[in-house]
Chains A and B, each alone.
Chain A
């Protein structure tokens, strides 16, 4: 679901086909009929943005027909745990959970706790959202004060046990509701339910695959939660052939999350410290509970080892390992907020390191206006991309909103070395690191990022060498002594040396570490990323392992290295039953070897090696030693998988269907229309199309979605310049159904333009029956889609599809809702120049779009409270076009509800 694997991850899809030839049933549930659908046993189209309604229906089907894998659910999930009496579900609050604060549109999550689980520290929900706190649990689960001593009802009958709460919460997600909301017929829906449940259990497993079709929503994290709940109820997690597989879009996007270039994370998913953390101890207390179970309890070991790698000798116990050198966050510093700050003149310099936001980020116009209002911009890329040349080829040149002679931004373009001209590791989508050898040297000024950052750091340190300013100490004390290769003033730093330091060393012996279990908080180990400890186990670069697949079993442990500890299936203790025996012979992966007193199997066991299946920890025990023999989820604070999330997810402990921010449909399940905690930026330069209960939505009556083609790559910087790929996919198009083509007078291969309150974009029309109009609650809804790879540069050019989108974010991840919006489509080409601005202004006038449109997120009927939003206030100033051509003056009409 939410994935077009055959076209976006083509070579990975061979395994789906392999499974199909071995008898697996392949279901494709996705708005578009694609090559994935063509090869699947069944394609079920649904309305973009309605996936939780569909998945909720599957959960309801499983629970009301007792189709769950009960033994697995009872032993390995939190189904039997009791939840606090104070918890109130969406059933009783018209779509809200208890703890909602209408002033900040965030939740105080304290009422979602387990009974006699200790309440969470009082960090308000708004801060959690601003810091994208939901995303900070990439390796360790969210904190619980205690992992033992939680009240349970093993019979799963107690009305406040997770299992019963789940049942009630999803009881209204009936096949009829699925039909009305998603446009999926009852028969199709039940066929999916039957196929999914019958392919699960002791003897069978089913895998769930998703991609950005799930993440790029205002409740993307909850889509994934819903999928995970199904997979847990059916016993499909931690077992061979099961799992929830995120197919990520870039060669090392997994790596850039593990070793993050993200504002709210340090390496290994340690959160960035907050302004309110008094010191290291305070920080550690806030990210893990004193008595919680599992390996995240040892977060202090991971943090101190990182600080020792950052500041070497200068970090000691006396100075708290220089925790004070870390800059603090205190809100939203995400890329979209930052771009708005650029427009408002608060950011001065911007580095673009292999990324092309002028085309690739939502709301391209916002991106380009931000770039046009900087002191300086650095672009490092293989080729000349739009983001480096916005001052001469942005669409705003034509409209007069950017004028080169008046644009003050200095731009530095540095040519980059390619993947064959440098060595290093990518982490692919299954957490596997693969080392690349350097094949040839780069030409001219082409350099690696490693070179660029290393030497920039060296120059900065030289310039500040004699500074006595306290703020320069972190830079002066930085361990920046990486090995270099070659001579001259600017030699190439050694990626191998950097990887060794990421892996970590024992500072008392100088030996490379074998595993994160060796990390210590007493300053005797240094490691850059604790989850990568072991990539250099035994002094060998394991990411370079290349034993041929024909010379090893299918787990292929000798090809590359997967974090953590080279485990290929996470939580694989769950592939055995509570007694440690494989659930079935066919689905054998890891089991307890009683004779040798240890876990063993085809994969590296993801469990304390010698903790026997029947082990019971003492009450109040903490850390790895507190894991019971049947606690497979070793990074979770209670050792169990969470059907219900008592903390860590900021927009609700359970997934709930809300309509997308822009939708032609009212929410048929609750009065609450959209996600009540979604992050909205109400600014004149970020208008929204109206959605119920607002009026004016009929001006943008169609559902819009965007996606990838096989032959191009994201913003096109690595594909539109290539003759082969450009020839294969030469032009931007918009795909529509024959019915919509008839309704709007669109002709196959002729021009049309797609319009939102942000932009109008030209494209060739592609009329096919692959786009099917959906019948929803008695009305017909049309969907259109466009690939988003084009821009003004390259061998093939076209309008920028991302310009159509506004910025509204998932509060857990601060990822934008770019997989669904509303739009209009008209035959012929769009107006150009100033006329385009007038054309868009006219659309906004007709739809009644103001700064307030979409900003009143609370629409639930909160009876008895006067907190209900007016919902329809349109008194705010009409969105005006920005004054052209000067983009430097902050627009005083902007109003920021999120501030």
Chain B
């Protein structure tokens, strides 16, 4: 590059001669930072979502892009339209991209047999079928038709469940409905805790 180009590439020169007199924007930008793009730039679409942690319910925009492996989450940001959160997210909400894309996520069914010391892999349909048999067995073992006075109970004390506060309303609805039809009553979640 020539001398004048060289001088012009100097940030102080740009700061003194350009519009950015405070040197906090354009004047200070290197070619490298000028080429940078927000992670969201490559997104094909944005899905409306809600933070999965606390009950404030901050609105999230989930930026989705795709590559050879398929669609993936590029970034999760606060949605500025929300009257609750006005686009803000706390450290947990801000980390939720890592929550959903991190390598800590399990993606295989695992099974530990009675007295076992290691996990084994199991395919999903087999696991579901094994479980269905066990549910019927536990239900039968804990069945109570009536109480001591002959009042109907029509329930099982053999099956318990805990969880729901991190799940969707639709999911909780099916959980309660199925377990009620099975006669299982010890159905609980974090709201008790």
Q: How far is the CB of B146 from chain A (nearest CB, A)?
A: 8
Q: Is the CB of A489 within 8 A of B125?
A: yes
Q: Is the CB of B62 within 8 A of A420?
A: yes
How long is the Cα–Cα vector from A718 to B165 in the complex, in angstroms?
A: 13
Q: Is the CB of B135 within 8 A of A456?
A: yes
Contact with B along A435-467 (1 / 0, CB 8 A): 111111111111111100111110110011000
How long is the Cα–Cα vector from A815 to B191 in the complex, in angstroms?
A: 8
How long is the Cα–Cα vector from A50 to B164 in the complex, in angstroms?
A: 31
Which of B170, B173, B188 has the most chain A CB atoms closer than 10 A to its own CB? B170
Q: Is the CB of A333 within 8 A of B111?
A: no
Contact with A along B159-193 (1 / 0, CB 8 A): 11111111111111111111011111111111111
How long is the Cα–Cα vector from A428 to B56 in the complex, in angstroms?
A: 6
Q: Is the CB of A559 within 8 A of B82?
A: yes
> Nearest A residue to B117 by beta-carbon distance?
A404
Given contacts A251-B166, A383-B106, contact A434 B115 (CB under 8 A): no
How long is the Cα–Cα vector from A724 to B145 in the complex, in angstroms?
A: 52
Q: Is the CB of B53 within 8 A of A347?
A: no
> Nearest A residue to B66 by beta-carbon distance?
A440
Contact with A along B106-120 (1 / 0, CB 8 A): 111111111111010
Q: Is the CB of B165 within 8 A of A251?
A: yes
Q: Is the CB of B168 within 8 A of A411?
A: no
> Nearest A residue to B81 by beta-carbon distance?
A548
Q: Which residues of B contact A355 (CB under 8 A)?
A: 162-166, 189-190
Q: Which residues of B contact A69 (CB under 8 A)?
A: none
Given contacts A257-B191, A529-B173, contact A419 B100 (CB under 8 A): yes
Interface stretch (choices A36-44, A334-342, A585-593): A334-342
Q: Is the CB of B89 within 8 A of A267?
A: no
Contact with B along A204-245 (1 / 0, CB 8 A): 000000000000000000000000000000000000000000
How long is the Cα–Cα vector from A280 to B108 in the complex, in angstroms?
A: 45
Q: Is the CB of A460 within 8 A of B182?
A: yes
Q: Which residues of B contact A342 (CB under 8 A)?
A: 160
Q: Which residues of B contact A725 (CB under 8 A)?
A: 91-92, 95
Q: How far is the CB of B96 from chain A (nearest CB, A)?
A: 8
Is A64 an interface position by the 8 A CB rule? no
Q: Is the CB of A436 within 8 A of B49?
A: yes
> Nearest B residue to A260 by beta-carbon distance?
B176
Q: How far is the CB of B75 from chain A (nearest CB, A)?
A: 11
Q: Is the CB of A262 within 8 A of B154?
A: no
Q: How far is the CB of A529 from chain B (nearest CB, A)?
A: 7
Is B76 an interface position by the 8 A CB rule? yes
Q: Is the CB of B165 within 8 A of A253?
A: yes
Is B34 an interface position by the 8 A CB rule? no
Q: How far is the CB of B176 from chain A (nearest CB, A)?
A: 6
Q: How far is the CB of A14 from chain B (nearest CB, A)?
A: 7
Interface stretch (choices A5-13, A644-652, A738-746, A757-765): A5-13
Q: Is the CB of B85 within 8 A of A453?
A: no
Q: How far is the CB of B12 from chain A (nearest CB, A)?
A: 36
Q: Pick the residue among B49, B52, B156 that contacts A439 (CB under 8 A).
A: B49
Q: Pick the residue among A349, A413, A480 that contacts B135 (CB under 8 A).
A: A349
Q: How far is the CB of A81 from chain B (nearest CB, A)?
A: 32
Is A285 an interface position by the 8 A CB rule? no
Q: Which residues of A contact B109 (CB under 8 A)?
A: 412-415, 445
Which of A261, A262, A456, A549 has the most chain B CB atoms closer than 10 A to its own CB? A261
Q: Which residues of A contact B52 (CB under 8 A)?
A: 251, 418-419, 426, 718
Is B67 an interface position by the 8 A CB rule? no
Q: Pick the residue among A266, A392, A453 that contacts B175 (CB under 8 A).
A: A453
Q: How many residues of B contact A (CB 8 A)?
A: 118
Q: Is the CB of B164 within 8 A of A353?
A: yes
Is A877 an interface position by the 8 A CB rule? no
Is A409 an interface position by the 8 A CB rule? yes
Q: Which residues of B contact A443 (CB under 8 A)?
A: 105, 107
Q: Is the CB of A454 within 8 A of B174?
A: yes
Q: How far is the CB of A657 from chain B (nearest CB, A)?
A: 24
How long is the Cα–Cα vector from A815 to B192 in the complex, in angstroms?
A: 5
Is A814 an interface position by the 8 A CB rule? yes
How long is the Cα–Cα vector from A719 to B93 in the complex, in angstroms?
A: 11
Q: Which residues of A contact B105 (CB under 8 A)?
A: 382-383, 415, 418, 443, 446
Interface stretch (choices A495-503, A510-518, A598-606): A495-503
Given contacts A261-B163, A383-B105, contact A474 B55 (CB under 8 A): no
Q: Is the CB of A261 within 8 A of B176?
A: yes
Q: Which residues of A contact B94 (CB under 8 A)?
A: 724
How long is the Cα–Cα vector from A814 to B131 in the complex, in angstroms?
A: 30
Given contacts A378-B131, A419-B52, A529-B173, contact A439 B73 (CB under 8 A): yes
Q: Which residues of A contact B39 (CB under 8 A)?
A: none
Q: Which residues of B contact A383 (CB under 8 A)?
A: 104-106
Given contacts A251-B53, A414-B109, A459-B128, contact A354 B166 (CB under 8 A): yes
Is A820 an interface position by the 8 A CB rule? no
Q: Which residues of A contact B154 (CB under 8 A)?
A: 324-328, 471
The DSSP consensus for interface residues of chain B is mixed
Is B27 an interface position by the 8 A CB rule? no
Interface residues of B in 121-170 (CB under 8 A from A): 122, 124-125, 127-138, 141-143, 145, 147, 151-170
Is A188 an interface position by the 8 A CB rule? no
Q: Which residues of A contact B73 (CB under 8 A)?
A: 420, 439-440
How long is the Cα–Cα vector from A441 to B100 in the complex, in angstroms?
A: 11
Q: Is the CB of A328 within 8 A of B155?
A: yes
Q: Which residues of B contact A712 (CB under 8 A)?
A: 92
Interface stretch (choices A85-93, A357-365, A632-640, A840-848): A357-365
Q: Is the CB of A460 within 8 A of B114?
A: no
Is B48 an interface position by the 8 A CB rule? yes
Interface residues of A in 543-582 (CB under 8 A from B): 544, 546-550, 552, 554, 556, 559
Is A124 an interface position by the 8 A CB rule? no
Q: Pick the residue among A275, A480, A499, A549 that contacts B153 (CB under 8 A).
A: A275
Is A421 an interface position by the 8 A CB rule? yes
Is A853 an interface position by the 8 A CB rule? no
Is A783 an interface position by the 8 A CB rule? no
Q: Which residues of A contact B70 (CB under 8 A)?
A: 441
Q: Which residues of A contact B86 (CB under 8 A)?
A: 14, 549
How long is the Cα–Cα vector from A542 to B163 in the complex, in angstroms?
A: 26
Q: Which residues of B contact A341 (CB under 8 A)?
A: 157
Q: How far is the CB of A479 from chain B (nearest CB, A)?
A: 9
> Nearest B residue to A342 by beta-carbon distance?
B160
Q: Which residues of B contact A120 (CB under 8 A)?
A: none
Q: Pick the residue among B57, B64, B188 that contacts A262 (CB under 8 A).
A: B188
Q: How far is the CB of B168 from chain A (nearest CB, A)?
A: 3
Q: Is the CB of A263 within 8 A of B138?
A: no
Q: Is the CB of B181 within 8 A of A310?
A: yes
Q: Pick the residue among A249, A446, A532 that contacts B169 (CB under 8 A).
A: A532
Q: Which residues of A contact B170 (CB under 8 A)?
A: 424-425, 450, 495, 498-499, 502
Is B72 an interface position by the 8 A CB rule? yes
How long is the Cα–Cα vector from A357 to B175 in the complex, in angstroms?
A: 19
Q: How far is the CB of B65 from chain A (nearest CB, A)?
A: 10
Q: Which residues of B contact A422 (CB under 8 A)?
A: 168
Q: Is the CB of B186 within 8 A of A333?
A: yes
How long is the Cα–Cα vector from A5 to B158 in the complex, in angstroms?
A: 40
How long is the Cα–Cα vector from A267 to B76 in the complex, in angstroms?
A: 33
Q: Is the CB of B164 within 8 A of A429?
A: no
Q: Is the CB of B168 within 8 A of A449?
A: yes
30 contacts between A and B (CB under 8 A): A250-B165, A253-B55, A253-B190, A253-B191, A255-B169, A256-B191, A259-B172, A260-B176, A328-B152, A353-B167, A354-B165, A411-B112, A413-B106, A415-B109, A418-B99, A425-B169, A440-B71, A440-B73, A446-B106, A447-B124, A463-B136, A471-B145, A471-B154, A475-B182, A490-B125, A502-B173, A546-B81, A549-B86, A719-B95, A722-B99
Q: Which 10 residue pairs spanning A and B have beta carbons closest together?
A: A428-B57, A424-B168, A353-B163, A444-B107, A327-B155, A261-B164, A439-B47, A548-B81, A256-B164, A348-B138
Known contacts A10-B56, A259-B173, A347-B158; 10 further A-B pairs (Cβ under 8 A):
A11-B56, A14-B88, A376-B138, A407-B115, A428-B57, A441-B71, A445-B109, A460-B178, A489-B125, A495-B168
